[in-house]
Amino acid sequence: MMIIIMKKIRFYKYSILFFITSCSLSPGMHMDSSTTWLGEKEYLNLEYDGTTHNIEIESINDNILSHADVSNNPYKIGIGDKLSIMVWGLPDAFPMVNINPEQNLRAVNTDGTIFFPYAGTIEAVGKTQVDLRKELTMRLSKFFNDPQLDVSIARFNSQKVFILGEVLRPQKMSITETPLSLADALGTVNGINNNTSSGGGVYIIRQASSSLTSKPRIFRADLESPAGFIMAGNFYLKPQDIVYVNANGTTRWNRVISQFFPFSSFLNSIDNLKDN
């Protein structure tokens, strides 16, 4: 009799816990989410901002790129990046001694521009380092004969990815001129937690593009096998991607994924997440 009573108590305790957990949502968000299967495809149904979104969960295996493919898309300068611009052979106009290196850095302003002596205000956002160097060279050529200069990005501040969930060191990580693969990102945070993570449930949430018809995308990586890690090494992350490692035994992972939508609310809530 005592055993039966204890089993009932345990049943009610876990039922209450499940109810509380499944009903917890972020402030201001109404969520009615579920995972459905259509044929061999898996979809996540999300309702937020008064609109229902049906998002297909894609395998990273179908989105593999070669390093050459990614390298053909060089880093584009963004707001907050700090640029180092060195002009050679013109010490009177551009002295290179007795100057603190930080003083030589040019931060990209919120309007996407930088100011450089003799060149004036230049649009920097969206340009590559090569593009900006050509623009500066052309402008300085109006005042100097054959100016020689170099442009590099000293601080990558504009483009981030976010590594969350069952990893050893959750953090936000800068995208740089070197392509960042999923395997590289997980290696930087010391890998997934072997005791609490589900290797088959690693998700990459990618926000919609600026197109009005574009939808967010969700990719799934299966890291329970060596082949999965090989695939992860050829899946490259994009700015504002969220990598989420699901916990072991979590069946309603979509409740957690839901908290990342819309992206603006998510990004405003993780300012205290440690940088790499």
In this predicted structure, what is the pLDDT of residue 195? Answer: 81
140 C-beta neighbours (distance < 10 Å), count: 22
pTM of the model: 0.72
CA distances from 42 to 35, 36, 171 (A): 7, 6, 28
Q: pLDDT tens per residue, the chain (276 residues)?
A: 444 444 444 444 433 333 333 333 333 333 334 444 444 677 777 665 667 777 788 888 888 876 667 777 889 999 999 999 999 988 888 887 656 667 779 999 999 999 999 999 999 999 999 999 999 999 999 999 999 999 999 999 999 999 988 888 889 999 999 999 999 999 999 888 888 788 888 999 888 776 556 678 889 998 888 888 889 988 999 998 999 988 876 545 555 666 666 555 555 555 556 666
In this predicted structure, what is the pLDDT of residue 141? Answer: 95
